[in-house]
Amino acid sequence: MTLFHLSGLAVEIPGHRLLDDITLDLPAGRATALIGHNGSGKSTLLRALARQIPARGTAIFEGRPLGAWPARALARRMAYLPQTTPPAEGMTVRELVALGRYPWHGALGRFGPADHAAIARALSECGVEPFADRLVDTLSGGERQRVWLAMMVAQEAGTLLLDEPISALDIAHQVEVLALVAAMCHSQGRSAVIVLHDVNMAARFCDHVVALRAGRLVWQGAPRALMRPETLQRIYGLPMQVLTRADGHPIATPA
């Protein structure tokens, strides 16, 4: 099943084309990584998918033109987490997670049993229930990122769009967050599109990989096919070698 169908997608700013003729299908029910150099267009593509910026060309989401979705209906199906999350000063974890219910009842609507149940499920699923009453600002980076994911889960959106969700985290929390997202996809049928810088993390936790370079699609496929020296050199423009860990996972390093 196809989550997004893109054909001839392009994004421009005065004097510069950020994305050029992106044509691809992204699978549903899978974790898809967007990889490539800095400035390759990864975040721009994610923002176009999230309808955060205007784009030309064809974009179909769940079989319906992306531009034809009413805002609230789209928010019930898709959740977007930017690279820099907004401040949550003075908010508890439970209060932040509860913001995920906005698409279902609006700013002034009263919470009902379904809202409270969705929040409780999200807190539990993302492992943040033990500190639900703590202030978000008092949490570690990894804990805060799981809280933001819990907000997206409470939104009950089937598709999660995540822009560099592990960029500010240490290695342990990077693994923790990506493992959580992968589990959401594999056990619950959610879809995720994730901007990542680390090709090894993309290969380990994602089911499908899309590589961009200078605003163009240069490769897409399965992680095993990605982890080949010739493929990596095509994407990154430098010689790479691929080693195999004791547990069988491939690791790419510059040659």
| 226-246 residue pLDDT tens | 999 999 999 999 999 999 988
Q: How high is the pLDDT of residue 36?
A: 96
Residue 19 CA: distances (Å) to CA of 216, 241, 254, 255:
6, 29, 27, 30
Q: How high is the pLDDT of residue 106?
A: 63
Residue 24 CA: distances (Å) to CA of 9, 35, 218, 251:
9, 15, 11, 26
Q: Return the DSSP state at 133.
A: T
How confident is residue 109, by pLDDT bands cut at 50, 70 and 90? low
Element (H, E) at 119: helix 113-125
Q: How high is the pLDDT of residue 46?
A: 98
Only one residue has tokens 């910026």, namely 53
The C-alpha angle 16, 19, 24, rounded to 5 degrees, equals 165
The proportion of the chain whose per-residue pLDDT surpasses 70, expressed as a percent, equals 98
How confident is residue 159, by pLDDT bands cut at 50, 70 and 90? very high
Amino acid making up residue 129: E
- How many domains is the chain partitioned into structurally? 1
What integer is the mean pLDDT of 146-150? 94
Which residues form the domain of 141?
2-254
Mean predicted lDDT score pLDDT of the chain: 94
What integer is the mean pLDDT of 71-93? 93
Q: Is the pLDDT of residue 29 over 80?
A: yes
CATH number at residue 205: 3.40.50.300
Q: How high is the pLDDT of residue 255?
A: 84
From CA 36, how far away is CA 86, in angstroms rounded? 26
